[in-house]
Amino acid sequence: MIKCGIDLVLNKRLEANLKNPDFLRRIFTLKELKQNKKSKLTGIFALKEAAMKAFGEKLDWKSIEVLAKEGKKPELSINNKKFKSLDASISHDGDYTIGMVVVEV
């Protein structure tokens, strides 16, 4: 079965949270935080939300890890979930960031 999840983020709504150390520690892994660019973290957040929607359940934020290298597709890994394949995409446009995840379970 193929499932998908999508999430749209209004960037300025998330920016205040990105200044909060407790929020950062709860949502992002250390590897993700090392990418420490607001646009990267916003995209990572959108993909984590999209992944939860694709799986149809709330997952631990840190069980989903997104490594987004400049100019390349994001690499997404999810601990403790079984699936055959997984694909992800992030796009930024003006005030918005969108993340989409497609998973074959």
pLDDT-above-90 percentage for the chain? 81
pLDDT at 35 over 90: no
Q: b/e string for 63-91 if b means 16 or more Cβ within 10 A?
A: ebbbbbeeeeebebebeebeeeebebbbe
Provide the whole-model pTM: 0.93
pLDDT at 59 over 90: yes
Where in the sequence is the domain holding 93, given as residue range(s)? 2-104
- Number of domain units in the chain: 1
Average pLDDT over residues 6-17: 94
The pLDDT assigned to 36 comes to 67
**CATH number of the domain that residue 42 is part of:** 3.90.470.20
The pLDDT assigned to 55 comes to 96
